[in-house]
Structure formats: structure tokens, C-alpha cells
Chain A
């Protein structure tokens, strides 16, 4: 299947710092990427839809000024958690739609963020 990578796979940072997470589609172009957040033992919660060349669409309750999304190219979307706090600690997963009949959605391996 198609490959989506994320970097870093884990990060520990101090409260108040900003953290950037990259999501790349390695062998296909993705006009649309999604950013999810997953708390322990819970399901994936969609944070925002990232569209190449335009502003991201955020889900209700997600602060766009705190979670900055940039989809600068057809293979790269970034999520920046600004002024991170301990409650932002979570597992962040990106995904991209490969296209085709099923519009199959491939997921990155996730980034575990721990804010001290």
C-alpha cells in the first residue's frame, strides 16, 4: 500500500514550547491530509482537514491558533502545536487519501507528544 511517514515519532518538550510534526506521503500526491488526535485507550478524533494550497478546515472545539496546519505541497503537511501544555500530550496521527475507487486512506505511524 501507499506509504505515509511522520516525523518525529516521539517528542518530549517543556511546557510553553512549540513542536512541529511533519506528515509526508512518500509515493503519491495527496491534495487532502487529515490530522487526528488519540488519547490512551480512545478512538481517533479528527482535528482538522489539511488542503494543499489553502487553509485547513478545523473541527469544532479545535483551536486553529494553537494547532497550526500548513499543507505547503502535495506531499507534505505540518502540524505545529504552539505553546504546548501538558494537556496537549497525546498521540497525533496524520493520514492521506491515496485516491482510486475506494479513496483509501493511509495513516502515518503517529507521533507521541509528551509535554512536561
Chain B
């Protein structure tokens, strides 16, 4: 079974509007961390936001917020006021075990295209 599921291969959003990128995860470990990364066409992986499994509040970083619904095992990324530069691949990832140095497990990604 997939540990990280991103059901949207591609998304379009109008510039200045908000967009939600879906991510669901599967783990039996009560301690885990959830990450979102942006990968523009240049290939570099850019860290956007982090949510720990015990965090009570949804994480926010500027225009990025994470809608963390623990019971549903979902960690959707919300980008507000989309900009043309937001066009990129977005990957949701999970690391099992807080404080561990284990590897990240990635979803298949969502390609976001921002229309002017």
C-alpha cells in the first residue's frame, strides 16, 4: 500500500486565487512528520512546510498552510494568492518516527500550473 497518496496529477489555478493540493498518508507509527516540497523545472527540491504528528495547530509559512486532519490522515497544502512563480511540481512526504533520521517517503507529486 502506498504510504503517501497524491491523487491530483495536475492542477490549474488562476493567478491570485487560492489552491489546495491533496495529500493522504498511511502509517501505524503514532510519531511522524509531514513535509511539502516544491520542485520547479530547474529540479531543486525546495522545502515549504512541516507538520509534526503531535502538533496541535496547523502549520503555516507565509502563503503556505497545511490543513492537517489527523483522523482522516490527510495533510493538504493550501497556497493562498497564487503567483506565476508557484507553477511547479509539489511533493508531499512523510518521515515515520519523530526525531528519527530515517528517509522521507514521497508521493507521486502534483503539477501545479498558475494561469495569468
How big is the B interface, by class?
20 to 34
- Are the C-beta atoms of A43 and B43 separated by less than 8 Å? no
B85-111 Cβ-contact flags toward A at 8 Å (1 or 0): 000000100010001110110111100
> Interface with B: A17-25, A62-70, A75-83, A104-112, which one?
A104-112
Which one of B33, B45, B95, B109 has the highest number of Cβ atoms from chain A below 10 Å of its Cβ?
B45
Residues of A near B68 (CB, < 8 A) are none
- Are the C-beta atoms of B101 and A32 separated by less than 8 Å? yes
Whether A1 is near chain B, meaning CB under 8 Å from some CB there, is yes
Whether A46 is near chain B, meaning CB under 8 Å from some CB there, is yes
Instruction: Name A84-116 residues within 8 Å CB distance of B.
Output: 91, 93, 95, 97, 101-110, 112
- Are the C-beta atoms of A91 and B99 separated by less than 8 Å? no
CB distance from A91 to the nearest CB of B (A): 6
Residues of A near B107 (CB, < 8 A) are 43
Whether A26 is near chain B, meaning CB under 8 Å from some CB there, is no
Whether B44 is near chain A, meaning CB under 8 Å from some CB there, is yes
Nearest A residue (CB) for B104: A105
Assess A93 versus B99: contact at CB under 8 Å? Given A44-B106, A102-B33, A102-B52.
no
Residues of A near B33 (CB, < 8 A) are 102-103
Nearest B residue (CB) for A107: B45
- Are the C-beta atoms of A103 and B99 separated by less than 8 Å? yes
Instruction: Name B52-111 residues within 8 Å CB distance of A.
Output: 52, 91, 95, 99-101, 103-104, 106-109
Whether B12 is near chain A, meaning CB under 8 Å from some CB there, is no
Whether B36 is near chain A, meaning CB under 8 Å from some CB there, is no
Assess A103 versus B95: contact at CB under 8 Å? Given A42-B108, A44-B106.
yes
Q: Which residues of B contact A (CB under 8 A)?
A: 33, 35, 37, 42-45, 47, 50, 52, 91, 95, 99-101, 103-104, 106-109
Given contacts A44-B45, A103-B100, list 13 more A-B pairs with CB under 8 A: A31-B101, A34-B104, A38-B43, A42-B109, A43-B91, A46-B103, A95-B45, A102-B52, A103-B99, A109-B43, A109-B44, A110-B44, A110-B45
Can you pick out 9 interface pairs between chain A and chain B where the beta carbons lie within 8 Å of each other? A32-B101, A34-B104, A95-B45, A103-B100, A103-B101, A105-B35, A105-B104, A108-B44, A112-B43
